[in-house]
Amino acid sequence: MTSSHAPHASHPLVLHVKETRLLNPLIRLLRLGALDGSALPAYQAGAHIKVQVMLPDGQVDWRQYSLINLDTHAGATAAPTEYLIAVRREDDGRGGSRWMHTQVSVGATLTVEPPRNDFALSPIDGRTVLVAGGIGVTPLVSMATQRRAEDAPVRLHYAGRSRALMAFLPELQALLGDDLRVHADDESGAPLDIAALFDACAPADRLHVCGPKVMLDAVLAQAHACGWPPERVHFELFTAPTPVAGDHAFELVLETSGQTFTVPADKSILDVLIEAGCDPMFDCKRGECGVCAVAVLAGEPDHRDYVLSESEKRAGNVIQTCISRCKGQRLVLDL
């Protein structure tokens, strides 16, 4: 996942790496445990931990990784002795995932923030329909396992560029059988058919979606077109925002402090503020949580978040600094 601010109030854990294994050329599995073998904090499907990583410039940062559980026994995650995570190597990123792939070995210790769940399973109503894109499958593995443990109806649509790059396929096939639907772009010659996926849903079904922005946007657009209420679609974005064609640099003015910066086309407002030592509030860095919201005093925001309502976006008086930008040349914030 993407980077996040320093840990929350709970004390970090120091865990040692018990196993590392390449699941495919891009994804590395890590099994973590307490130094004394004691039980770790409990978690539920959808939860993640934050791991402290070292960047190439020597700075310390944090990365989020979903906790993976394939054990259908009752209470399997109530007092676990291990945490299982999977790290996708992002060679175009800031270097955290490369460090996790190349510098972390068996026996190493990692500083970890205890589990937090911002993507919990919804109450059981109809079928739980899980939609995964690439490494976004990791929280959905645990969700599928929990639904199987509850003997509740579940279906997983798992999409990726090719089967060779899709982690946990054998385990999911064994867990779900015919309730696993695999879509490989290189086999079908097209992306996952989102419209057909919705057509196959019953009125009481709920979706849980995790994957790249293009998939999430397509699912949300289809849900809107089908008249689904927002509470029927739960989601988590699994990749950091990327520059969009037409993005341009703009002037950023902090009204309270009087500081002025240039936000380049390839950096977010939040990143510029962090690099300037402003210590802004933030968490997810994906436009999902709303923690980084700042009041807009002048300029027109280019909203790209999943927090604000359409009326709030039209009002243009608040911006999520981690992902949204400026449509014009100058943006003044209440900072």
Q: Helices 169-176 & 137-149, crossing angle to 10 degrees?
A: 20
Length of the chain: 335
Could you tell me if residue 244 is inside a domain? no
pLDDT averaged over 10-residue windows placed end to end, the chain, 335 residues:
41 96 97 96 96 93 95 95 96 90 97 94 93 96 97 97 96 98 95 96 96 91 94 82 81 93 92 89 80 92 86 91 93 94
pLDDT for 38 equals 96
Q: Cite the DSSP H helix spans in the chain.
A: 96-102, 137-149, 169-176, 185-188, 194-199, 213-225, 269-275, 310-315
Structure tokens at 123: 């109450």
| β-bridge mates for residue 207, sequence order | 129, 233
Question: pLDDT at position 288, please?
Answer: 78
pTM of this prediction exceeds 0.75: yes
Indicate whether 231 and 138 sit together in one domain: yes
Residues 229 and 264 occupy one common structural domain: no
For residues 218 and 315, membership in a common domain is answered with no
Residue 240 confidence (pLDDT): 62
Whether 224 maps to a domain, the answer reads: yes
Residue 100 lies in a domain: yes
Domain assignment present for 121? no
Contact yes or no for 153/147 (Cβ under 8 A) = yes
The C-alpha atoms of residue 170 and residue 172 are separated, in whole angstroms, by 5
For residues 139 and 212, state if they share a domain: yes
Query: What CATH number does residue 28 fall under?
Result: 2.40.30.10
**Which pLDDT value is given to residue 4?**
38
pLDDT on residue 308: 85
Distance between CA atoms of residues 96 and 250, nearest Å: 28
Which structural domain, as residue segments, surrounds residue 32? 13-116
Answer yes or no: is 232 within a domain: yes
Q: Residue 123: inside a domain, yes or no?
A: no
Kindly state the DSSP code that residue 93 receives in the 8-state scheme. S
CATH of the domain at 298: 3.10.20.30
**Residue 243 covered by a domain:** no
